[in-house]
Amino acid sequence: MKRPMVTTVLLGLTLLSRFGAPAGSNRNAQLELRLYVGKGEFFEQEPIYAVFELSNHGLDTAWISPFGITYPALTPVLTSGAGSAVPRLIGVSDYVPPLGWRGVPIAPGGRLYDTAVLQDWWGAADSAARGLFIRHLSPGSYDLSATFISEVGPDAGRSIEAEPVHFSIRGRTTSEEPVYREVKALTSMVSDRAQRPRYLGALLAWVSTRLSAKDAGNPYLAFVLHNGVQIAKGTGSWPDAASAARLASLRAAVAEAQRSLPAGAYAVDAGYADRPELVPPLARALGQSLAGGVAAQREKEHRSEARPRQ
């Protein structure tokens, strides 16, 4: 079956003021929506990776609208401890379904995933001079929730709500400050024209060093291997064949080291968002982990896209 044509457009800043519709419940439902952020406490300017998972617990294939943080069927909301919605940068993926399209299938026991860094979407506007991210989340407590309402299939119009996840952000400790400063100095290389040609090589060397130093749990590794590479591309430093192969290998290493965390899942998605043909088979090696689930779904999608059209 042909997949719908997709176009992604960045719209701008909006303030979400409410949760999704309260109707419906995950209890006794065929579909379940779950959220993962990995832990309950982060330091300021630490990337907060999130995984959105829609699973089918029924006996039949479910047919739904496209699933992902930029698709209108999924509505994620981040609220502060005071209960107010955090401003969000909105990205929208529009699609034109072909004639007779039934929707996106989820087989019984199957799952669909999307991953994100929350500071790419939520928070106050930030600058490259100040921090690492597009948006800034200040210290405090937060709740991430989400609602999925499909426009197609037997569940069309029914609200499927995820159990909210709670986390907090605090100031950096004296041991965390050098790690942040190290990454900030790395990404700031692109602002200096003299250093810019060396940025991508320095990025690859930094990740390799962290992995070799048995710092595979470093929270910035997956971020640098995706967002950091996008910064390089944005300034004209596209990876050559050798760098692209090395990137694929490093992403696989981070995915394996952080397989149980949303960061590991984000490292998997980094490869498929960049050069999917270079991503090695990961699902079997990652096993029954969060990153393994994402890898299995991406490998399935990649095989489907590579299959000749009839």
Per-residue model confidence (pLDDT) at position 94: 82
The beta strand positions in 149-212, using DSSP E, are 160-161, 165-170
The pLDDT of 136-165, averaged and rounded, is 94
Q: pLDDT over 70 for what percent of the chain?
A: 88
Per-residue model confidence (pLDDT) at position 236: 87
pTM of the model: 0.88
Mean pLDDT of the chain, nearest integer: 88
Per-residue model confidence (pLDDT) at position 99: 86
The pLDDT of 203-223, averaged and rounded, is 94
Would the pLDDT of 304 be above 50?
A: yes
Closest CA to 149 of 138, 157, 140, 161: 157
Per-residue model confidence (pLDDT) at position 4: 38
Per-residue model confidence (pLDDT) at position 24: 37
Closest CA to 155 of 54, 22, 66, 65: 65
Would the pLDDT of 56 be above 50?
A: yes
The pLDDT of 45-69, averaged and rounded, is 96
Per-residue model confidence (pLDDT) at position 185: 95
The fold adopted by the segment(s) 5-170 is Immunoglobulin-like (2.60.40)
Question: What residues have CB less than 8 Å from 132, skipping those under 6 apart?
Answer: 45, 47, 119, 180, 183, 184, 187, 223
